[in-house]
């Protein structure tokens, strides 16, 4: 056990100090930080930091009812409005030659002003917008049209409707959704779509698990093959048994993968805590209170079992290859299994209850990621999770026994890559 701890410690310290690990982790942190701060960078470079208050002048004669209503206009409050929402303010001026109006236009404090034509029909008379460049911003035009349309309705309706009733007429109507059950009736509450935060967490876990298993698996196989090609393995065998070496490397690199995931998760948390990113979850309608924490618990268990399942395969393949040049070709079957396990749930994230995902969640090579998808955004019973974990655990132990036999015989087999028949013959000579 002391030798196992020494190998785990040496493997961990050796890998976290390599340039490849440090550079890869740094690049991932930079990409995540840049991606999460892109909206803020856009605001800074466009000079659009914070809410914009647009001042619009209103030039009209005393007693102009449309102008009075416009000056008192208050838009309907949006459900997702916050302190950074742009606002428009109206200011009354006696004429277009008003000194304060001209000064405001020269200082760019006033964007432009509105004038009303002589009233020729019921409602709001024709309105003209005046500005230095003669153009009207698209968003401002939409705002002014909404305000004038509401005022037009109030002028025509007269005293029959209050200002609040008129505002309610123009307030947007929300539309909800409900899924129908197979018999054509309204589904129960359990048929409602999962919270958006669960989809985000599942998507992030799929990517993290795939990257971690792929990177750490390649580390294990490359480590074993390089020791064989340099003949260091012959010296190591005299100090520790092949099984101790294999499991020591697997566990040591497992800790490396966990540390990398922790660093990436920490960088995401730090970016979310930055002042300008305080509202990022609200902007994307993400509520941590709706998070299904079972995703994180079961996700960790599935990651651990899935890691050891694939790590043992990578170690076994690495032990039968004598040259690093042949490693890529030998690892191709294992890498294909990894890609299948990743892409099946990734492309099924919008339909997590299909038969393909249900079957994949019980197949050991695909169950770690497919079951994470079902737990996060699908419908899955507890017994299904338990059965999937038992099958995955049994397969991991069985593969561990097989990998140990392959590793013990393969580490001292040099020359061309042995065939399956040769490996089986060599395995029969050893008892584990």
Contact 101, 113 (CB under 8 A): yes
Residue 310: per-residue pLDDT: 93
CATH of the structural domain 51-179, one choice from 1.25.40, 3.40.1710, 3.40.1000, 1.10.10 = 3.40.1710
Q: Give the residue, 419 or 190, on which the prediction is more confident.
A: 419
Residue 27: predicted pLDDT: 93
Given pLDDT bands bounded at 50, 70 and 90, which one contains residue 161?
low
The domain spans of the chain are: 3-40+195-429, 51-179
Instruction: Write the DSSP string, 52-69.
Output: -EEEEEEE--TT-HHHHH
- Strand, coil or helix: what is 127? strand
Q: Are 110 and 91 in contact (CB under 8 A)?
A: yes
* pLDDT above 70 for 219: yes
Residues composing the chain: 432
Average confidence (pLDDT) over 38-57: 73
Q: What is the pLDDT of residue 413?
A: 58
The pLDDT, as a whole number, for residue 190 is 42
pLDDT at res. 323: 74
Residue in 290, 298, 308 with CA at minimum distance from that of residue 374: 298
Q: How confident is the model at residue 374 (pLDDT cuts 50, 70, 90)?
A: very high
Stretch 5-24: mean pLDDT, rounded? 87
Per-residue model confidence (pLDDT) at position 311: 92
Are 58 and 70 within 8 A, CB to CB? yes
pLDDT digits 0-9 by tens, 396-432: 999 888 887 777 776 655 555 556 665 665 556 555 4
Indicate the pLDDT class of residue 298, thresholds 50, 70 and 90: very high
Beta strands 112-116 and 53-59 are: parallel
What integer pLDDT is reported at residue 388 of this predicted model?
Answer: 94
pLDDT at 309: 93
pLDDT of residue 317: 85
pLDDT in tens, 359-368: 999 999 999 9
Of 181, 188, 260, 247, nearest to 220 by C-alpha is 247
Residue 266 scores a pLDDT above 80: yes
Q: Following DSSP, what letter does each residue of 27-41 receive, concatenated?
A: HHHHHHHHHHHHHHH
The per-residue pLDDT for 116 is 81
pLDDT of residue 171: 67
Torsion, Cα 37 43 47 50, to 10 degrees, reads -110
How does residue 187 score in pLDDT terms, banded at 50, 70 and 90? Answer: very low
**pLDDT tens track for 223-242:** 877 776 665 655 555 566 77
pLDDT at 193: 66
Query: Does residue 56 contact residue 88 with C-beta atoms inside 8 Å?
Result: yes
Question: Looking at the whole model, is its pTM more than 0.95?
Answer: no
Q: Is residue 152 within 8 Å of residue 122, measured between CB atoms? A: no
Question: Residue 55's beta-bridge partner residues?
Answer: 89
pLDDT computed for residue 77 by the predictor = 57
Q: What is the pLDDT of residue 341?
A: 93
% of the chain surpassing 70 pLDDT: 76
Question: Among residues of the chain, what percentage have pLDDT more than 90?
Answer: 21
Nearest to 344 by CA among 362, 329, 330: 362
Q: What are the CA-CA distances from residue 315 to residues 214, 329, 374, 431 (Å)?
A: 13, 15, 30, 19
Q: What are the tokens at 142? A: 């939409």
Q: Which of 171, 170, 189 is nearest to 179 (CA)?
A: 189
279-296 confidence digits (pLDDT tens): 777 766 777 777 778 888
Mean of per-residue pLDDT scores for the chain:
79
Q: How would residue 121 be classed by pLDDT, with cut points 50, 70 and 90?
A: low
The angle that helices 232-239 and 242-273 make with each other, rounded to 10 degrees, is: 100
Taking residues 193-204, what's their average pLDDT?
83
Amino acid 307: pLDDT: 93
Q: What is the pLDDT of residue 189?
A: 42
**Least-confidence region, from 146-160, 253-267, 313-327, 369-383:** 146-160
Which is more confident, 214 or 430? 214
């Amino acid at each position: 056990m002391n030798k196992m701890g020494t190998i785990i410690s040496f493997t961990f310290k050796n890998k976290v100090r390599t340039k490849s690990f440090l550079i890869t982790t740094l690049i991932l942190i930079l990409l995540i930080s840049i991606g999460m701060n892109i909206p803020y960078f856009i605001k800074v470079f466009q000079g659009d930091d914070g809410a914009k208050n647009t001042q619009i002048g209103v030039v009209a004669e005393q007693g102009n009812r449309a102008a009075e209503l416009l000056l008192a206009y208050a838009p309907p409050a949006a459900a997702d409005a916050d302190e950074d929402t742009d606002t428009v303010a109206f200011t009354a001026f006696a004429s277009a030659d008003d000194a304060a109006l001209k000064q405001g236009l020269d200082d760019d404090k006033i964007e432009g002003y509105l004038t009303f034509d002589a009233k020729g029909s019921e409602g709001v008379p024709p309105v003209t917008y005046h500005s230095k460049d003669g153009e009207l911003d698209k968003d401002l035009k939409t705002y002014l049209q909404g305000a004038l349309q509401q005022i037009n309705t109030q002028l025509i309706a007269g005293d029959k409707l209050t200002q609040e009733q008129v505002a309610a007429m123009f307030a947007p109507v929300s539309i909800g959704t409900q899924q129908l059950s197979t018999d054509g009736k309204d589904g129960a509450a359990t048929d409602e779509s999962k919270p958006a935060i669960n989809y985000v967490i599942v998507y992030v876990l799929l990517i993290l698990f795939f990257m971690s298993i792929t990177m750490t698996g390649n580390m294990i196989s490359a480590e074993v093959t390089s020791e064989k090609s340099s003949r260091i393995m012959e010296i190591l065998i005299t100090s520790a048994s092949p099984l101790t070496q294999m499991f020591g490397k697997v566990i040591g690199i497992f800790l490396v993968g966990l540390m990398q995931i922790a660093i990436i998760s920490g960088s995401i948390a730090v970016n979310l805590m930055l002042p300008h990113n305080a509202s990022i979850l609200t902007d994307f309608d993400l509520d941590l209170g709706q998070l299904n924490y079972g995703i994180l618990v079961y996700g960790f268990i599935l990651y651990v079992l899935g890691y050891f399942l694939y790590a043992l395969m990578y170690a076994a393949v690495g032990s039968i290859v004598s040259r690093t040049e042949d490693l890529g070709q030998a690892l191709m079957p294992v890498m294909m299994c990894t890609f299948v396990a990743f892409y099946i749930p990734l492309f099924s994230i919008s339909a997590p209850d299909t038969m393909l995902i249900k079957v994949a969640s019980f197949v050991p090579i695909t169950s770690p990621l497919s079951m994470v998808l079902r737990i996060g955004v699908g419908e899955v019973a507890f017994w299904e999770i338990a059965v999937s974990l038992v099958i995955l655990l049994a397969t991991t132990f069985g593969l561990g026994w097989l990998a140990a036999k392959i590793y013990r015989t393969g580490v001292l087999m040099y020359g061309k890559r042995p065939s399956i028949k040769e490996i089986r013959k060599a395995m029969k000579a050893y008892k584990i």
